[in-house]
Amino acid sequence: MAMGAGPGSSVPDQRDPSARTWMSPEDGVAAETPGREAEGVARQAKTATGPGGRAPLSPLIHGRVRLLILSFLLRGGRSQSFPTIRKSLGLTDGTLSVNLSKLEEGGLISITKTFEGKRPVTLVRMTARGKREYARYLEDLRDILPVDAIE
């Protein structure tokens, strides 16, 4: 006896990746399912706390690629082009694009699209908020890590 999709069925018929939900075309009922990234961020938030149960490290910054991007932008001190960031950090276009979008949504960077002659250029820079959040992240990290044990 075959199981069909419908209310109460555990068999998903169609995946809607933008909403991260399982959809049944028969009844249009969607059930939220957390993505791997959401689970990873939740796990980081639970485990990355400082002494005395301080607030967790910022999951927006704590991701490896996003931390690399912010560090690169801060070190550069000015706007950087998409290809410069991609080449310098050894990232793919897709990986860089996704992570830049997340940082922009969080207000940590601004992205400006312009032209040099007839060529489109995407410029990325850290915002004042991004610099403050990055400094706070480093401060929180120092509180967690026993720096004297490293030396």
Per-residue pLDDT, 62? 84
Domain boundaries, the chain: 57-142
pLDDT above 60: residue 83: yes
In the numeric block, which tokens belong to residue 114? 């312009």
Between CA 112 and CA 114 the distance in angstroms is 6
pLDDT cut 70: percent of the chain above it: 61
In the numeric block, which tokens belong to residue 13? 């018929």
pLDDT tens digits, one per residue of 7-44: 454 444 444 444 333 333 333 334 333 444 444 444 44
Distances (CA, A) of 68 to 42, 74, 99: 21, 10, 10
Nearest to 51 by CA among 143, 146, 147, 151: 143
In the numeric block, which tokens belong to residue 126? 């850290």
Between CA 97 and CA 108 the distance in angstroms is 15
CATH architecture of 57-142: Orthogonal Bundle (1.10)
Which helix H or strand E contains 151, and what residues bound it? none
In the numeric block, which tokens belong to residue 69? 């991007």
Nearest to 123 by CA among 78, 87, 75: 78
Q: How confident is the model at residue 54 (pLDDT cuts 50, 70, 90)?
A: low
Between CA 147 and CA 78 the distance in angstroms is 30
Q: How confident is the model at residue 143 (pLDDT cuts 50, 70, 90)?
A: confident
Decide which of 23 and 146 is more confident.
Answer: 146
pLDDT tens digits, one per residue of 84-109: 999 999 999 999 999 999 999 999 99
